[in-house]
Chains A and B, each alone.
Chain A
Amino acid sequence: MDVAIVGIGIHPFGRTPSRTGLQQGAYAARLALQDAGVEWKDMQFAFGGSASAGNADALGNELGLTGIPFINVANGCATGGSSLMAAYAAIKSGEHDIGLVAGFDKHDRGAFNADPAALGIGQWYGEVGLMMTTQFFAMKIQKYMHDYGISADTLAKVAEKAFSNGALNPNAWRREPVSAEQVADSMMLNDPLTKFMFCSPAEGGVALVLCRADKAKNYCDSPVYLKSAVLRSRRFGSFEVFAPSQALQQVDGPTVDASKAAFEMAGVGPGDIDVAQLQDTESGAEVMHMAENGFCEHGEQEQLIQSGATHIGGSMPINTDGGCLANGEPIGASGLRQVYENVLQLRGQAGDHQVPGDPRLGYTHVYGAPGISAVTILQR
């Protein structure tokens, strides 16, 4: 049984002091239900996640207590992708016909402070200052720049593009363009990454209504089909965040594994994709994830990004809604935001940030600690 997305809803990302994270999730859920022309009581199941704003199944207190199975999902930055994969499997298996996926969050300002014990690491690791996601991303791109000749200016151009796309997206947090020079000249946080090259923890909510593909037209004139939803965790030997040591022998990371599996499941290749949302928790991540997801060879990003290929009007549009850099990262909602954006793109409803040429296939990718990746491929 194929699976379709027939309803989408979003609460604007950024800072909304007047609403709790849960209320932002409920706001998005109501919009998604309305978009599909259904009611909450029509939902047969729900999966949802939030890292800092309470249990997702508390949405029942806002939307109504209907007795359905509602499962809380917690999988780091890949929480949204994991919820979606679980919902996909629930419908594909024939267990359910229609259900809701929701993600929301509300984080404090500043970098995340993860607890070593929760990841099976000794307290000493955090005490001496190694328990920092920002360090990992900086060290990964530092090595990558050394090996593949990516320039610091290319990192700045990734952020410049994110902010210019964010300026076109009414739901984005950062809506002011920032030039590559301003990005490069902002405070250095973790060499080679400056302040404007990092996304920030933020707030927001997204919800999606999924149903059996053969019933999709009952709810939606322009359903978008979920051709694949894949989650992979790290194998031994991949270079991951929060790792006190790594193996001498390197293997491909979970992004490469999830991407290959997703393309195989969908029966398409990277060259067929018309629009892609790739995890860009910082500029370097977008660069490396372009290659890890199969969209180019390692090192080709330098020319692709400098030539504007990844812009909305380019040959390989990436992070058309401004990505994590312009939207911030509310952990529970972030992966679903990418799917929301691709549904808009495939429906032709993305407004000022619409990719030209009637895109048909969309790709999303999230990466999370301590080494997981979720990929979806959508087709209209």
Chain B
Amino acid sequence: MSKQVPIVEGLFTWPAEQPALLGSRCNNCGVAAFPVAQSCMACSGQDVSVEELPGRGTLWTWTVQRFMPKPPYHSNETPETFQPYGVGYLELPGGVRVEGRLTENDPEKIRIGMEMDVVFDTWRTEDNGDEIITFFFRPVSEPAQEG
């Protein structure tokens, strides 16, 4: 029976009603890191706590990857079916700037400073039917226009 499997354990909470990216915060200097680290890159401290990172942030910078990367890239795509994908750093308030894939790949629809949500979705399907789950950044949808 197929199941949903996170791309790696400990990157985000899964399964969870509201999945969240997991970061670590240094108990000495207060600096956060993603993914969870055993020690602090800022102060060399080794006393860190794991916490859930905010689920919404602002786009700090971005690009669109228009050619298919070589391995270790591992998707279900072939060179024929490859679709360009957006990549960006999302600034999570009080946390860190996390790098991730965007759900949007149209440069006309991506701009620095826009709000995005951290969402979790299937990245690829394995031969045994398992769905590999990872995180993406999705533009916060504009409020519906009235009339």
> Is A bound to B?
yes
Q: Give chain A's interface residues, CB within 8 Å of chain B.
A: 110-111, 113, 115-116, 122-124, 126-132, 134-135, 138-140, 142-143, 146, 187-193, 236-237, 243-248
How far apart sit A142 and B111, CA to CA, in the bound complex (Å)? 10
Residue of A nearest to B132 (CB): A127
Residues of B close to A111: CB separation below 8 A: 67, 69-70
B63 near A143: Cβ-Cβ < 8 Å? no
Q: Give chain B's interface residues, CB within 8 Å of chain A.
A: 7-8, 11, 23, 31, 33-35, 41-42, 60-67, 69-75, 85, 87-89, 91, 95-101, 107, 112, 123, 134
Residues of A close to B8: CB separation below 8 A: 122-124
A129 near B134: Cβ-Cβ < 8 Å? no
Interface centre among A122, A126, A243, A246 (most CB of B within 10 A): A246
How far apart sit A130 and B35, CA to CA, in the bound complex (Å)? 14
A245 near B34: Cβ-Cβ < 8 Å? yes
B101 near A130: Cβ-Cβ < 8 Å? yes
Residues of B close to A243: CB separation below 8 A: 99
B11 near A122: Cβ-Cβ < 8 Å? yes
Residue of A nearest to B100 (CB): A130
Residues of B close to A129: CB separation below 8 A: 65, 69, 73, 75, 85, 87, 101
Residue of B nearest to A113 (CB): B70
Q: Which of A127, A193, A247 contacts B72 (CB 8 A)?
A: A127
A113 near B69: Cβ-Cβ < 8 Å? yes
A146 near B112: Cβ-Cβ < 8 Å? yes
A248 near B70: Cβ-Cβ < 8 Å? no
How far apart sit A248 and B8, CA to CA, in the bound complex (Å)? 25
Residues of A close to B95: CB separation below 8 A: 248
Known interface pairs A138-B63, A244-B98, A247-B96. Does A131 touch B69 (Cβ–Cβ under 8 Å)? yes
Q: List 24 A-B contacts (CB under 8 A).
A: A113-B70, A113-B73, A122-B35, A124-B7, A124-B134, A127-B7, A128-B7, A128-B75, A128-B100, A128-B134, A129-B101, A132-B69, A135-B87, A139-B63, A139-B89, A143-B61, A187-B66, A189-B67, A190-B63, A190-B64, A191-B64, A244-B98, A245-B98, A245-B99
Besides A129-B87, A132-B69, A243-B99, 16 more A-B contacts (Cβ < 8 Å) are A111-B70, A113-B71, A122-B11, A126-B73, A128-B73, A128-B123, A128-B134, A132-B65, A135-B87, A139-B87, A191-B107, A193-B63, A247-B42, A247-B96, A248-B91, A248-B95
A245 near B33: Cβ-Cβ < 8 Å? yes
A142 near B34: Cβ-Cβ < 8 Å? no
Residue of A nearest to B107 (CB): A191
How far apart sit A191 and B127, CA to CA, in the bound complex (Å)? 34
B99 near A115: Cβ-Cβ < 8 Å? no
B112 near A130: Cβ-Cβ < 8 Å? no
B97 near A126: Cβ-Cβ < 8 Å? no
Q: Which of B23, B35, B61, B73 contacts A140 (CB 8 A)?
A: B61
How far apart sit A138 and B62, CA to CA, in the bound complex (Å)? 8
Residues of B close to A247: CB separation below 8 A: 31, 42, 96-97
Known interface pairs A130-B100, A247-B31. Does A139 touch B91 (Cβ–Cβ under 8 Å)? no
A142 near B72: Cβ-Cβ < 8 Å? no
Min CB distance A65 to B, Å, is 37
Min CB distance B11 to A, Å, is 7
A236 near B134: Cβ-Cβ < 8 Å? no
Min CB distance B124 to A, Å, is 8
How far apart sit A187 and B95, CA to CA, in the bound complex (Å)? 36
A116 near B42: Cβ-Cβ < 8 Å? no
